[in-house]
Amino acid sequence: MTWKIIKTKGAYNKAIKRSIDIFQAEDNTPESDELDLLLLLIKDYEHKHIVLPQLDPIDVIKMKMKERGMKAKDLEPLIGSKGHVSSILSGRRELTLKMAQKLKNYFHLPADIFMPAA
């Protein structure tokens, strides 16, 4: 099949299905070339048409705390006093850049979680 720029959901689904079918293609074969092209076309379509939701940094921090079985007091070394932690987790106080950096490193989170949506 001759592939073109993907402009519709139907063409996108067709490209996804075909890419799954040939995902294990051997290098330097027509199928591997087709797969490379499909992946570029799929990426282009997704970039133009699929918007990921903006994550709330506080919700992400709370989720990470729950995963690790942590309590608010466990964040005191990263954020500060019990009052600061409480204010941050309740949304009454904004995260500072320094706090965001510490939390990013501690929980191994991508930095863009702490960046506002453009």
Residue 70: both structure tokens together: 């942590």
| pLDDT score recorded for residue 55 | 84
- pTM, two decimal places: 0.57
Residue closest to 63 by CA, chosen among 107, 102, 117: 107
Residue closest to 23 by CA, chosen among 14, 36, 13, 11: 36
Output the tens digit of pLDDT for each of the chain's 118 residues: 789 999 999 999 999 999 999 999 999 999 999 999 999 999 999 999 988 778 899 999 999 999 999 999 999 999 999 999 999 999 999 999 999 999 999 999 988 888 765 5
| pLDDT score recorded for residue 67 | 96
CB 100 within 8 A of CB 83: no
| pLDDT score recorded for residue 52 | 76
Residue 59: both structure tokens together: 């919700």
